[in-house]
A and B are shown apart, each in its own frame.
Chain A
Amino acid sequence: MKKWMSISLGVMLLSTLLSACGGGNNTPSAGGNAEGAPSSGGNTKSEEPVTIKFMHFKSDFTDQIAKIVEQFESENPNIKVEIQPVKYDDYYTLLKTKLAGGDVIDVFTLNAGFNTQLFADGGYLTDLTGQPFLNNFDESVVKGQATDGKNYVMPLNANPIAVFYNKKIFKDLGLEVPRTYDALIAAAEKIKADGKTPFALGWKDGWTMTMWNTRDLPSNSALVEGQPDFFEKIEKGQAKFADNPAVKTTIEHAAKLFELGNKDQLGVDYNGAVDLFAKGNVGMMYMGTWPLPDIEKKNPDLYNNDLGYFPYPFSNDESLNKLDFNADASLAIGSKTEHKEAALKFLEFMSSKEGGDAWVENIKSLSYVKGTSTDIAPAIKDLQPYFDNGQTYDSQLYLAKTTIDWRAPFDQNLQNLFFKKVTPEQIISNMDDWLSKNHK
């Protein structure tokens, strides 16, 4: 009798345990079916309060994004937004695992270009082509962010990537704003001769260096060497690094920047570089607009009076050296969303003038929404002539169709170059070796 009791108890325990294991998989999909139906059922149901999940990579601006979302929620009392900020470095890994694992994320930020391409190919994005809110943007922007002719993402904000400079140091040394690469280096050499640091690099963080070389290289490839489709070709193995003279140019530029950088170039990270620059002993820093709030906090005097900003001169042809103006975050709606309408409403809000202004005001970056203000910092005024004269370009469009990760091996090779472990020629042959194994 006792024996049977213990056995049956064991079986019971085991079965509860197993059902608990299985339960995790079943519930969401069942819930998905149940809730999936009403969302397609039209307007009447949308009156019910719904919660949409919004994942974004602007984790530096967690509070500010929350503020913008609050504004949206107060206008749409029936929609609650659950925000999930993720650090950019981990964002795509997390997003990938979540989506591949069947998690539903209603709205998330994406970078237009190869990231969008990848998720669109995987079937994770809702097609937004023809949505009325896309009319709030310049047609060229909407077209530029399209993937295979379809709009899977809504443009949101944009960032000029340029060079901050310390106007005081430049004035003291009698330097002009450099408009060619040679002038840039000449200015840097002069700053160095004066005992100051020419460039704050912060290349310990991978992205700071990647950000620079993924702009220098495509700009030189496309505009100087006339190979705008170089990255499209290496994706398919139709081109080699050896065939593109711009690669050598970029390698030379990298070595020069490293030489003229702060001490311990690969040991100081982004925050360290901003710190150095804010202290006022550094001439220049290649960066987007995001350190502005930091600089303002650390050295308001520099921020208000002596901070300048000029387009990075990647070549020696002044007419080519326009302002690099890149798309930053774009918004996408997950294809598995159960609350498509609420998600569309959210995008609609973000593309309105009000949403755009809220973005500019809180995030301190420029919005793509037509007619929004550009007044985010005194230094940005230096760029106004370039905006007014249409002297901007987007270097990232040349990379838009490349999904293979040539950046990581290229970065590592450059780092080896800095310590004289490889020659420029070896880098090129290393990259071609890598390419021969990794192209599609």
Chain B
Amino acid sequence: MGNLQRALRKEMWYLLFIVPGVCLFIMAVVIPLIMGARYSFTNWDGVSNKFAFVGWDNYVKAYQDPGFWAALGNTAKYALILTLLVNVFSLLLALVLDAFLPLRNVFRTIFFLPSVISIVLSGFIWSYNYSTGIPQLLSHFGLDVTSPLGNPDYALFGLILVALWQGIGSPMIIYIAGLQGIPQELSESAKIDGAGVWKSFRHITFPLLAPSVTINLLLVLTGSLKVFDLVFVTTNGGPGFATEVVSTYIYRTSFSSFQGGYGMALSMMFFLILVIVTVVQMSISRRREVEM
């Protein structure tokens, strides 16, 4: 009993320090989530003071809404391709920039810089690049290109390229940190044993980097599933629904089509999907970590 009290007294300070964080989290996340869940059972239009409860109607409607499923498909496509590309490229960059290289700090800074500017800004920059900058540059070489964002077939890839350019910085830093945590002796002894560059990467560096891979996959995947700002400022879901992702679809439903209640229901479903994806992905990656 006395022990418990002492332990409690010791922990008291820790508890005290997390109180502001918890308070903020409850106010900014938990309470709106609960309120939102309530609205998702209503036919609220987003503006008026009057609304009625409609039970599960919104969820049934969402299930039958091809627009929502198309948006979900686009989101999945965007998130999967982006996660893969970001991780491959940032790992490659990290490997290069972790090796002894003159001016490596300069290069690290250069590759990290795009992450510093806001997504909205980079959206504007790239809209300009795509529609004016690059075509004008290439016209000097006799090439005639148009903005990928103006064509439904390429718009999503145009966005992925922007997100890749901007998103590569922080995973790269995490990978560099992970690489620096790997003891040098291991690769040295592997070299003595006759392992080449690829073999020592495959059997030493990569397995020991697994925690960084897990965290990077998770961060990039969840981040890209929730993408809104980049799409909103560059294409706003167009052309022809080609870049309509779930968050812009929810936004459009709630605020342009005045279906606040239905938009909330979509948000709830999306929230659930995100939770499931995250949990599944975490458990898979964690398991691989242990195995290796």
Interface of A with B (CB < 8 Å)?
Answer: 3, 6-7, 9-10, 13-14, 17-18, 21, 92-93, 96, 99-100, 118-119, 121-123, 204, 206, 263-269, 272, 403-405, 408, 411-413, 415-419, 421, 437-438
Q: A interface, by DSSP: helix, strand, loop or mixed? A: helix
Question: Known interface pairs A264-B147, A272-B132. Does A17 touch B20 (Cβ–Cβ under 8 Å)?
Answer: yes
> Is residue B19 contacting chain A, with contact meaning CB distance below 8 A?
yes
Q: Are A438 and B257 in contact (CB under 8 A)?
A: yes
Q: Within B141-194, which residues are at the interface with A (CB < 8 Å)?
A: 146-153
Known: A266-B239, A415-B239, A418-B239. 4 other contacts (CB 8 A): A123-B49, A204-B127, A267-B151, A416-B239
Query: Which residues from B are CB-within-8-Å of A416?
Result: 152, 239-241
Verify A18–B23 contact, CB threshold 8 A.
Answer: yes
Indicate if the CB atoms of A405 and B257 lie closer than 8 Å: yes
- Residues in chain B near residue A264, CB distance under 8 A: 131, 135, 146-147, 150
**Which residues of chain B have a CB within 8 Å of any CB of chain A?**
9, 12-13, 15-16, 19-20, 23, 27, 46-49, 61, 65, 127, 130-132, 135, 146-153, 236-241, 244, 252, 255-259
Expressed in whole angstroms, the minimum distance between the Cβ of B207 and any Cβ of chain A is 45
Measured CB to CB, the closest approach of chain A to B2, in angstroms, equals 12
Instruction: Kindly state the separation between the CA atoms of A205 and B244 in the bound complex, as whole angstroms.
Output: 15
Contacts of B149 in A (CB 8 A): 204, 266-267
> How far in angstroms is the closest Cβ of chain A from B132?
7
A96 touches B23 (CB 8 A): no
Q: A18-B23, A21-B27 are in contact. Are A415 and B135 (CB under 8 A)?
A: no
- Asked if A100 and B131 sit within 8 Å, CB to CB, the answer is no
Taking CB atoms, residues of chain B closer than 8 Å to A100 are 46-47
Q: How far is the CA of A415 from the CA of B151 in the complex (A)?
A: 9
Nearest Cβ in chain A — how far from B61, in angstroms? 7
- How distant is B165 from chain A, measured CB to nearest CB, in Å? 18
Most chain A Cβ neighbours within 10 Å, of B15, B49, B61, B257: B257
Residue of A6, A404, A417 touching B9 (CB-CB under 8 A): A6
Q: Which of B16, B19, B237, B238 makes the CB contact (< 8 A) with A266?
A: B238
Q: Which of A18, A266, A411 has the most CB of B within 10 A?
A: A266
Which of chain B's residues have a CB closer than 8 A to the CB of A263? 146
User: Closest chain B residue to A18 by CB distance?
Assistant: B23
- Of all chain B residues, the one with the shortest Cβ separation from A422 is B240
Complex-state Cα separation, A204 to B152, whole angstroms: 12
The residue of chain B having its C-beta at the shortest distance from the C-beta of A275 within the complex is B132
Instruction: Report the minimal beta-carbon distance from A265 to chain B, rounded to whole angstroms.
Output: 7
- Nearest Cβ on chain B to A162's Cβ, whole angstroms: 26
Q: Which has the most chain A C-beta neighbours within 10 Å: B65, B130, B146? A: B146
Nearest-neighbour CB distance to chain B for A102, whole angstroms, equals: 11
Which of A265, A267, A405 makes the CB contact (< 8 A) with B130? Answer: A267
The residue in chain B whose Cβ has the minimal distance to the Cβ of A209 is B238
Complex CA distance for A17 and B13, rounded to whole angstroms: 16
6 CB-based A-B contacts, threshold 8 Å: A121-B48, A204-B150, A269-B127, A415-B240, A419-B240, A421-B152
A412 contact from B148, B153, B237, B255, Cβ within 8 A = B237
**A267 — which chain B residues lie within 8 A by C-beta?**
130-131, 146-151
Select B239's contact among A17, A96, A403, A419, beta carbons within 8 Å.
A419
A269→B131 contact, CB < 8 A = yes
Contact A265 B150 (CB under 8 A): yes
Check if A419 sits within 8 Å of B153, measured CB to CB.
Answer: yes
* CB proximity of A13 to chain B, nearest CB, Å: 7
Query: Chain A CB within 10 Å — which of B20, B48, B149, B238 has the most?
Result: B238
B143 to chain A, nearest CB (A): 13
Are A96 and B27 closer than 8 Å at their CB atoms? Answer: no
Whether A412 lies near B16 (C-beta < 8 A) is no
Q: Tell me whether A266 and B151 are in contact in the complex, defined as CB-CB below 8 angstroms, given that A411-B238, A412-B240, A413-B240 are known contacts.
A: yes
* 8 Å CB contact of B152 from A6, A21, A419: A419
Q: A18-B23, A267-B150, A268-B131 are in contact. Are A13 and B257 (CB under 8 A)?
A: no
